[in-house]
Structure 1
Amino acid sequence: MLSTLHAMWQADGTFPSGSFAFSYGLEGAIALQPAMQPAELAQLMNAMIRQRWATFDRIALLRAFRAGTDLKALAAIDREVEASTLFGALRQGSRRNGASFLAAHARLGNELAVGLRDAVRRGDCLGHIAVMQGGVWSTVGLDEKLAQLTSGYAAASGLVTAAIRLGAIGVLQGQVILRDCLPLIEQFVAQPVTADAALESFLPFLDVASARHEQADLRLFAN
């Protein structure tokens, strides 16, 4: 029961992880397609879960979770995430989000978060959010399944929150989209991940939108 409560704590939108500042490329996508309908947003979220979170973020998270407190192993995964993320806006957003996540846990007294924060400051780690989550969550009572569920829920709810703040959908429309994402997240969490699983991502529309958004004169979100 306590591990489930810890997962709920980490997935809670009030946890100061810094995710409120990031739209995961959605702001750029809406700028490219201002009249995006709720059904189209739902399709975009479905693609994000299938073609980014499940095959990239989840893999990095699990590999970091299994590395535990091994800072060298975490740094290696971190560098792989950096090298596998094509556009600068997404790399910077991931690192900033990871830095906020580490800062919160360090202030809460988590020793691994303190060590990772110092490693980022030294340049030994880059601090990508999925890697930082995997490492730290391995120390707060979550198992692999709960860590994946927490990550998937946080990614989906972050997108919904961004869409609401951007005025693309209403609150209840957002809850419908989020609810419909949950079985898909569960489906992927049930699939095993091997130790040699590669990081794979294919979301060209969101990638291009994020790259264009980086050059925008006015932005609500950092990426």
Structure 2
Amino acid sequence: MSSTLITITTTRTPMSDFTSLLASFQHSDSFFPSGSMAFSWGLEALLQDGLVKDARSLQVFVEGQALARWASLDQGIVCAAWQADSFDAWLDVDALAETVTLPEPMRKGAHRLGRTLADVHARLDSSVAAELRAAIIAGRTPGHLSAVQGRLWRSFGISRDEARAMSAHAACTGAVSSAVRLGIVGHLDAQRILTRLREPLASVLEAPAPAMDDLWSSTFAADIAVMRRHRHEARLFAN
């Protein structure tokens, strides 16, 4: 009588992978006090001008923000900031973010959110965030949101690709949540828009992020709307 020895092999995910995943959930959650709820990135003005007024036009707006700005510009900054091997190298990335963000309200909004994010994490005892905050307060660097995100998220053990996905998620959820607050759509339509964007964004994430010399954006309607914000007397958002 012969016996057969059966070996069962199990594949286990390293604990560090779970830690990184949980960290990405925490820092991309709208519950995290990042200050992003104060900005609509031009959506409020587009609503008041009658250019974004329903789920269909909102879909066009969010697609533009995701595929003609985030994919071609912001994700490149996030990745370059994540990869920066020194604080001086990160300063160069932040300076480039300032250069390629043309509308003044967009720059100021990115400064405010970057500083807020650094301040929150400094209060949560992050030494990297404290260094960023000190440099921003001293006027050494503007502290753009995407650059701050990349450096901070790496310090929390979040992988570069997870950081890219977090950045994409934050850009899209920020847009649709602003639309819900403005009454353009309800929560269900907002979720439908996010679902439709999942595959296009996944395709973007499968390719390498753009290099620093290849950054571009073409969200002209939103940029113009942001710059015209002072023409509207009643405003819910800072830009």
Aligned partners of 2:43 and 2:52 also within 8 Å: no
Q: Which amino acid aligns with 2:89?
A: A
Partner of 1:5: 22
* Structure 1 position 35, deviation (Å): 6.1
Backbone CA RMSD of aligned residues:
1.4
- Higher mean alpha-carbon deviation, 161-170 vs 189-198, is at 189-198
How far, CA to CA, are the matches of 1:103 and 1:218 in structure 2? Answer: 29
Structure 1 runs of 4+ with >6 Å offset: none
* Structure 1 position 38, deviation (Å): 0.5
Partner of 2:6: none
Aligned partners of 2:94 and 2:141 also within 8 Å: yes
1:34–1:53 Cα change, 3 Å: closer
TM-score w.r.t. structure 2 length? 0.89
2:46 is the counterpart of 1:19:
no
Partner of 2:235: 219
Identify the match of residue 203 of structure 2 among 162, 165, 187. Answer: 187
Partner of 2:218: 202
Match runs of 1:88-99 below 5 Å = 88-99=104-115
Partner of 2:71: 54
Partner of 1:44: 61
2:35 is the counterpart of 1:29:
no
Say which one has the larger Rg: 2
Identity of aligned residues (%): 32
How far does the alpha carbon of each residue in 1:75-124 deviate from its partner, in whole angstroms, 9 at most, with x for none?
21112111211111111111111111111111111111100000001111
How far does the alpha carbon of each residue in 1:182-215 deviate from its partner, in whole angstroms, 9 at most, with x for none?
2222211111136544321111100111111144
Identify the match of residue 87 of structure 2 among 71, 83, 103. Answer: 71
How far, CA to CA, are the matches of 1:209 and 1:198 in structure 2? Answer: 25
Structure 2: 5+ residue runs without aligned partners?
Answer: 1-17
Q: Which amino acid aligns with 2:75?
A: R
Identify the match of residue 152 of structure 1 among 157, 168, 193. Answer: 168
